């Protein structure tokens, strides 16, 4: 369906190239790069980003099976790791040539049963180990059961083993993180000699690459939010280029006299004559209701215009008193990483949540010069 919405998310492909190269420059030449494109590529456009990056990366990962199928349907040929498969979609994973992460004895047994009953051979799987996040993953004590399940069979082989760091961006947790890394190495040392092939290993996300490239680079890294210019650290973010710009336009301008109200539940009462602009983006597009009543702000003609009143489903109103502008003028709703970080801080969340909340109603526009 053609999307003719005036509210657009611009995606700067040159900035993506820059950021990818920045992270690659921190790594050995031989280290493989997996790009995580779950949640529509962090709210951008997973299919187009993956197609664009395909020649320059080694792997993709998605959270759920459908996200991987969408990439295959878009023509992506690179290996795709499905981080969080369920028993019910194992057959689909195999059918679409996706690669399942196995995180428990239960799901591994289910996969083996399915692969056997379908008489398939040589299906690649990945094993995720829990080293302290306590979210998804086998524990070290599961190794003997894993080995007994996968030895003496040729239905599946273990292509990689991995783990995930709980606080890679927080240097106050360095001791905990180094313990996770050591535990993962101990798991690899115990498991790998008992397998018929040697799987590759990976552990680092964006801030892991920044803080632990020396200790835990292994054979691959998993880059997510860094691609979009967020380093989870002020200084690192400043070295990256901004990728995403959320833009809209002024639909209508109102002049509200002293004592008049604006918005649902009369959430704003003018203390003096106030000029407001109505913008076609609302909480159904990812502009959280928490941004209302002055918490959030947009840029119009390079000046900050705070949101007035409550955020509506499809629109926000902003205060443009003293800002020269007209109906139809451009509005920058998310200007850059620093703007998104300020808005995240003001609403008690993180850029990950703001980006992935940008709804599919917003038109995506890719730019490259």
Ligand X SMILES: *Cc1c(COP(=O)(O)O)cnc(C)c1O
Query: Residue numbers of the site for ligand X (CB under 6 A)?
Result: 36, 38, 83, 164, 205-206, 222-226
φ and ψ at residue 72, rounded to 5 degrees: -60, -45
Minimum CB separation of residue 320 from ligand X in Å reads 35
Taking the least distance from each CB to ligand X, the nearer of 38 and 247 is 38
Closest CA to 82 of 61, 102, 97: 61
Minimum CB separation of residue 165 from ligand X in Å reads 9
Is 135 annotated to bind a ligand? Reply is yes
Minimum CB separation of residue 35 from ligand X in Å reads 9
| Cα angle for residues 40, 41, 44 (degrees, 5° grid) | 80
Instruction: Please say whether the beta carbons of 174 and 184 come within 8 A.
Output: no
Taking the least distance from each CB to ligand X, the nearer of 133 and 192 is 133
List beta partners, residue 163.
129
Instruction: Please say whether the beta carbons of 37 and 50 come within 8 A.
Output: yes
Q: What is the Cα–Cα distance from 11 to 228, expressed in whole angstroms?
A: 9
Taking the least distance from each CB to ligand X, the nearer of 138 and 297 is 138
Q: Which position has the token pair 């995180």?
A: 103
| Cα angle for residues 318, 319, 324 (degrees, 5° grid) | 110
Minimum CB separation of residue 224 from ligand X in Å reads 2
Instruction: Please say whether the beta carbons of 46 and 40 come within 8 A.
Output: yes
Is 289 annotated to bind a ligand? Reply is no
Minimum CB separation of residue 203 from ligand X in Å reads 9
User: Which helix H or strand E contains 300, and what residues bound it?
Assistant: strand 297-300
Q: What is the Cα–Cα distance from 61 to 35, expressed in whole angstroms?
A: 6
Taking the least distance from each CB to ligand X, the nearer of 199 and 226 is 226
The DSSP code sequence of 353-364 is HHHHTS-TTSEE
Minimum CB separation of residue 351 from ligand X in Å reads 10
Taking the least distance from each CB to ligand X, the nearer of 181 and 305 is 181
Catalytic residue among 38, 128, 201, 247: 38
Q: Which position has the token pair 């969340």?
A: 349
The alpha carbon of residue 217 and the mean position of all alpha carbons in its chain are separated, in whole angstroms, by 20
Token digits of residue 198:
């040697």
Catalytic residue among 151, 196, 264, 368: 264
Instruction: Please say whether the beta carbons of 212 and 181 come within 8 A.
Output: yes
Q: What is the Cα–Cα distance from 8 to 362, expressed in whole angstroms?
A: 5
Taking the least distance from each CB to ligand X, the nearer of 43 and 292 is 43
Instruction: Please say whether the beta carbons of 328 and 18 come within 8 A.
Output: no
Q: Is 64 helix (H, G, I), strand (E, B) or coil?
A: coil
Minimum CB separation of residue 175 from ligand X in Å reads 20
Q: Which position has the token pair 């995930």?
A: 164
Q: What is the Cα–Cα distance from 65 to 85, expressed in whole angstroms?
A: 6
Taking the least distance from each CB to ligand X, the nearer of 226 and 286 is 226
Residue 38 falls in the annotated catalytic set: yes
Query: By Cβ distance, which residue is nearest to ligand X?
Result: 224
Residue 247 falls in the annotated catalytic set: no
- Catalytic residue numbers, as ranges: 38, 264
In the annotated binding site, the residues are 135, 313
Annotated binding site for substrate: 135, 313
């Amino acid at each position: 369906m053609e999307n003719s919405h005036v509210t657009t998310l611009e995606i700067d492909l040159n900035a993506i190239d820059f950021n990818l190269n920045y992270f690659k420059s921190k790594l050995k030449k031989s280290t493989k790069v997996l790009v995580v494109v779950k949640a529509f590529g962090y709210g951008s456009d997973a299919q187009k980003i993956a197609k664009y990056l395909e020649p320059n990366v080694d792997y993709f990962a998605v959270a759920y099976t459908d996200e991987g199928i969408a990439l295959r349907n878009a023509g992506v040929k690179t290996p795709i790791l499905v981080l969080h498969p369920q028993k019910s979609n194992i057959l689909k994973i195999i059918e679409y040539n996706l690669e399942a992460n196995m995180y428990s004895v239960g799901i591994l047994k289910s996969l083996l049963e399915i692969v056997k009953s379908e008489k398939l051979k040589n299906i690649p799987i990945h094993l995720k180990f829990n080293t302290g996040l306590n979210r998804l993953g086998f524990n070290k004590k599961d190794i003997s059961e894993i080995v007994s399940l996968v030895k003496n069979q040729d239905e599946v082989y273990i292509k990689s083993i991995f783990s995930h760091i709980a606080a890679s961006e927080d240097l106050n947790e360095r001791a905990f993180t180094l313990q996770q890394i050591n535990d993962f190495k101990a798991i690899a040392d115990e498991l790998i000699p008992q397998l018929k092939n040697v799987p590759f290993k990976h552990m680092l996300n964006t801030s892991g690459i920044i803080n632990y490239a020396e200790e835990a680079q292994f054979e691959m890294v998993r880059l997510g939010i860094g691609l979009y210019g967020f380093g989870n650290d002020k200084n690192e973010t400043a070295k990256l280029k901004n990728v995403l710009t959320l833009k809209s336009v002024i639909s209508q301008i109102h002049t509200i006299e002293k004592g008049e109200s604006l918005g649902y539940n009369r959430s704003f009462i003018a203390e003096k004559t106030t000029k407001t602009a109505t913008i076609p983006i609302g909480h159904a597009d990812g502009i959280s209701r928490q941004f209302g009543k002055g918490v959030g702000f947009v840029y119009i003609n390079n000046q900050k215009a705070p949101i007035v009143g409550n955020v509506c489903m499809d629109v926000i109103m902003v205060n443009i008193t003293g800002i020269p502008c007209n109906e139809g003028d451009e509005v920058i709703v998310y200007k850059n990483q620093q703007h998104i970080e300020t808005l995240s801080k003001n609403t008690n969340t993180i850029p990950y949540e703001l980006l992935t909340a940008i709804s599919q109603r917003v038109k995506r526009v890719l730019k490259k010069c």
